[in-house]
A and B are shown apart, each in its own frame.
Chain A
Amino acid sequence: SQQGEEDPQALSIQEGENATMNCSYKTSINNLQWYRQNSGRGLVHLILIRSNEREKHSGRLRVTLDTSKKSSSLLITASRAADTASYFCATRRWGSSNTGKLIFGQGTTLQVKP
């Protein structure tokens, strides 16, 4: 079952603008990760933020995590046409079976117009 929801479902911006995507989840987590998927291909891992972290940066990416609100946001600054893709958040929670399943949100489709 899906862990949470992302919004917006679709986002269209001009090159150079910033893109912000939000993710909400339902249960306690160990970490939250963001992935990118181009045109239904495999997923590329972008960034991981642990439950005891509040903000993380990687290049043009900035991720925040608010565990009290069970939400995260991904900001892509100075977007490029090559950023056009679907973006998914995924949460990992270690259960009694210790398998640490990764559960995905619904995803946001980002279109960056040149």
Chain B
Amino acid sequence: SAVISQKPSRDICQRGTSLTIQCQVDSQVTMMFWYRQQPGQSLTLIATANQGSEATYESGFVIDKFPISRPNLTFSTLTVSNMSPEDSSIYLCSVGPTQETQYFGPGTRLLVL
């Protein structure tokens, strides 16, 4: 299994500001994913982050709003830009070390005022 840590675990931010969330994995993985979970809702895939190439965004998510970096096989960042209260969610990093198994980090709870 893969052990995933996220920083920060939670934050309260003012609208109009940006927050960068870090995801660190204890082993090298090819695929990393970022999900959003709005209050009381299920998880929605934001993008797939692959090392050495640009992230692939899902419908409804754009790079200007959610820029992603993937500098190596154990680390990725997701930035939530120009935040509004609608961005208040839990953001989860996930990795797929195999073609079947997928593991999730503890999540970052974001509240935008």
Q: Are B107 and A40 in contact (CB under 8 A)?
A: yes
Given A40-B90, A40-B107, A88-B43, does the pair A101, B100 have CB atoms closer than 8 Å? Answer: no
Given A33-B102, A88-B42, A103-B45, does the pair A97, B56 have CB atoms closer than 8 Å? Answer: yes
Query: How extensive is the interface on chain B, given as a class?
Result: 20 to 34
Query: Quick check: which of B12-20, B66-74, B79-87, B91-99 contacts chain A, the rest being far away?
Result: B91-99
Task: Please report the number of residue pairs spanning A and B whose Cβ atoms sit closer than 8 angstroms.
Answer: 60
Distance between A47 CB and nearest chain B CB, rounded to angstroms: 11
CB < 8 Å neighbour of B102 from A45, A50, A88, A105: A45
Query: How extensive is the interface on chain A, given as a class?
Result: 20 to 34
Question: A residues within 8 A CB of B27?
Answer: none
Question: A residues within 8 A CB of B33?
Answer: 101-102
Q: Are A42 and B107 in contact (CB under 8 A)?
A: yes
Chain B residues near A (Cβ < 8 Å)? 4, 31, 33, 37, 41-45, 48, 56, 58-59, 90, 92, 94, 96, 99-107, 109
